[in-house]
Amino acid sequence: MLKETLIEIFERDLQRLATEINLYKDEDKLWLVKTGISNSAGNLCLHLLGNLNHFIGAALGHTGYVRYREDEFSLKNIPRQDLITNIENCKLVVKGSLTNLPEADLQKDFPLNVFGKITSTEFMLVHLAAHLSYHLGQINYHRRLLDQ
């Protein structure tokens, strides 16, 4: 039951991410950073994709994805359509990885030590859904504030 709920939430919020990226009137503003704003929407998008591809795709789905976290915050001016394509690919990775994850594995230890301690896979997946939602809200605010 939880697995299906998580799949639905990840799909919903990744679709919302694509919607937010597409709602920017000026594509260049995806990469804009102003005083008091630490990250651009484009970099937050890259960060979310790297995070999900790493922790769900590679760790649980064994996709072979290799994360370059520094690039998530340093790359700039990636075309909007490339971001959208990467979001769509990430949706497939997340759904496939979670669909193939045995329900019993949710109670097992997550294969990576993320917080300086071992957590359950269930805990990590709920954390990842919350993390996606948190940054999605930042992107929404960034767009409404800076893309007028």
Domains, the chain, ordered by start: 2-146 (1.20.120.450)
Q: What is the pLDDT of residues 62-112, one digit of tens each?
A: 999 999 999 999 999 999 999 999 999 999 999 999 999 999 999 999 999
Mean pLDDT of the chain: 97
Closest C-alpha to 29, from 12, 41, 37, 47: 41
What is the value of pTM for the model shown?
0.96
Q: What is the mean pLDDT of residues 132-142?
A: 97
- Specify the pLDDT at position 36: 86
In DSSP terms, which residues pair with 109 in a beta bridge? 120
**What pLDDT shows up at residue 15?**
98
Average pLDDT over residues 129-142: 97
Give pLDDT, residue 1. Answer: 85
Helices 2-23 and 41-52 cross at an angle (nearest 10°) of 160
- Which helix (H) or strand (E) element contains residue 98? helix 80-99
